[in-house]
Amino acid sequence: MKSFKVLSIMLIPMALQACAHESASVVNAGSSHAVVEENYDKFEGFNRFSFEVNNQLDNYVLRPLAKGYRAVTTQYIRDRVNLALANLKEPMSSVNNILQGEFASGLKNIGRFAINSTLGLAGMYDVAGGGFGLEPHPSNFDMTLANWCVKDGPFIVLPIIGPTTPRAILGDAFDGLGNPVVVATYNDANTRDKILYPYFALSAVAARETNMEMLDDVKKSSVDFYATVRSAFLQNRKQINKCGVNTETESQTLDYDFDFDMDEED
pLDDT of residue 189: 82
Does residue 148 contact residue 55 with C-beta atoms inside 8 Å? no
Instruction: Determine the 3-state secondary structure of 156 from DSSP.
Output: strand
**Quick one: what percent of the chain has pLDDT higher than 90?**
69
Residue 165 burial (CB count, 10 A):
20
Distances (CA, A) of 32 to 53, 56, 232, 238: 25, 26, 8, 12
The mean pLDDT of 74-89, rounded to a whole number, is: 98
Neighbours of 253 (CB within 10 A): 21
| CB-based contacts of 63, cutoff 8 Å, min separation 6 | 208, 212
CB 155 within 8 A of CB 9: no
Whether the pLDDT of residue 68 is over 70: the answer is: yes
20-40 per-position pLDDT tens digit: 444 444 444 444 444 444 447
Asked whether residue 194 carries a pLDDT value surpassing 80, the answer given is: yes
Residue 137 has pLDDT above 80, yes or no: yes
Comparing 36-45, 108-117, 134-143, which segment has the lowest mean pLDDT?
36-45
Average pLDDT over residues 238-245: 77
Which is more confident, 144 or 257? 144
pLDDT at position 120 is: 97
The mean per-residue pLDDT over the stretch 179-185 comes to: 94
- Model confidence band, residue 254 (pLDDT cutoffs 50, 70, 90): very low
Q: Is 1 a residue whose pLDDT tops 70?
A: no
Give tens-digit pLDDT for 4-19: 344 444 444 444 444 4
pLDDT value, residue 245: 65
Non-local CB neighbours of 166 within 8 Å, separated by 6+ positions: 152, 153, 154, 156
pLDDT, mean of residues 68-94: 98
pLDDT at residue 190, as a whole number: 82
pLDDT band at 84 (very low <50, low <70, confident <90, very high): very high
Domain positions in the chain:
2-29+46-75+142-253
Say what the pLDDT of residue 207 is.
Answer: 96
